[in-house]
Amino acid sequence: EVQLVESGGGLVQPGGSLRLSCAASGFMFSKNWMSWIRQGPGGGLEWVANINDDGRETYYVDSVKGRFTISRDNVQNTLYLQMNSLRLEDTAVYSCARSGTPGSVDHWGQGTLVTVSS
Amino acid sequence: DVVMTQSPLSLSVTLGQPASISCRSSQSLVSSAGGTYLNWFQQRPGQSPRRLIYAVSNRDSGVPDRFSGSGSGTDFTLKISRVETEDVGVYYCMQGTHWPWTFGQGTKVEIK
């Protein structure tokens, strides 16, 4: 069974940093692209970043480029999202997801809440 | 960025009756390789989204066959042939053809 478990969320001040982790199990992590997707307080979904299977290719939504970094450890089966220079509008539940098919995500984690507030 | 526009944003349906959700993209979702990466997700209250349909019309394993997806180019539809209580939630379309991937606003389905 595919399992994705996020951790690392919390309350942070504007301008601060957080590192999210996503522990993956139940599938060949090293063979799958992975994504971070967030859901803001209003409920809308926003794709944040993708990383290819070997970690050499990354893609970001414009609003996080230069501030967020997606990475992975294919030995530890863990996906990461380093978030710097956090803004109020980054407040959301952040979920990792497996991209098991092209142009899609087929499994989501439960998410971890990031709150940016002074 | 590709803008995904869903309609209606809210749907109240009688149990056993059909429901239909439209999703339109601001540009064609046909990729250079020929695939069309249009997905549908269901989010039940308090749960993470669950994929129902990928590549326009492919139903995920375990998804009831009352759910179907159709469309092409810029115009797509999710249909529920007979709405059941467990179908209550918010439905999102998402395109994975163009970076950045983008979602529709969501359609809230409730039982009348």
Q: In terms of DSSP bridges, do strands A112-116 and A10-12 run parallel, antiparallel, or are they unpaired?
A: parallel
Q: Which residues of chain B have pLDDT under 50?
A: none
Q: Structure tokens of A51?
A: 């990383």
C-alpha span between B108 and B21 (Å, rounded): 10
Any idea which residue has 């087929």 for tokens? A106
Which residues of B fall within a CB distance of 8 Å from A51?
A: none
Nearest-Cα distance to chain A for B16, in Å, is 27
| pLDDT-based confidence at residue A107 (cuts at 50, 70, 90) | very high
Confidence (pLDDT) at B28: 97
**Cross-strand pairs, A97:** A35, A108
More confident residue, A9 or A42: A9
Confidence (pLDDT) at A101: 86
Confidence (pLDDT) at B19: 97
Three-state DSSP at B22 gives strand
For B101, which DSSP code?
A: P
Residue-wise pLDDT for B26-56, tens only, equals 999 999 999 999 999 999 999 999 999 999 9
Any idea which residue has 């978030």 for tokens? A83
| Amino acid, single-letter form, for residue B35 | G
Interface test with A, best of B51, B92, B93 (most A CBs within 10 A): B51
Of the candidates A44, A60, A102, the beta carbon closest to that of B105 is on A44
Residue-wise pLDDT for A47-99, tens only, equals 999 999 999 999 999 999 999 999 999 999 999 999 999 999 999 999 999 99
C-beta atoms of B55 and A104 within 8 A:
yes
Confidence (pLDDT) at A100: 83
Q: Are A61 and A78 in contact (CB under 8 A)?
A: no
CA distances A104 to A50, A71, A114, B55, B93, Å, are 11, 19, 24, 8, 11
Nearest to B71 by CA among B86, B90, B58, B84: B58
Q: Are B25 and B95 in contact (CB under 8 A)?
A: yes
Residue A38, pLDDT above cutoff 90 = yes
Average pLDDT over chain A, rounded to an integer: 96
B99 contact A CB<8A: yes
C-alpha span between B94 and A64 (Å, rounded): 19
Confidence (pLDDT) at B56: 97
Residue-wise pLDDT for A60-71, tens only, equals 999 999 999 999
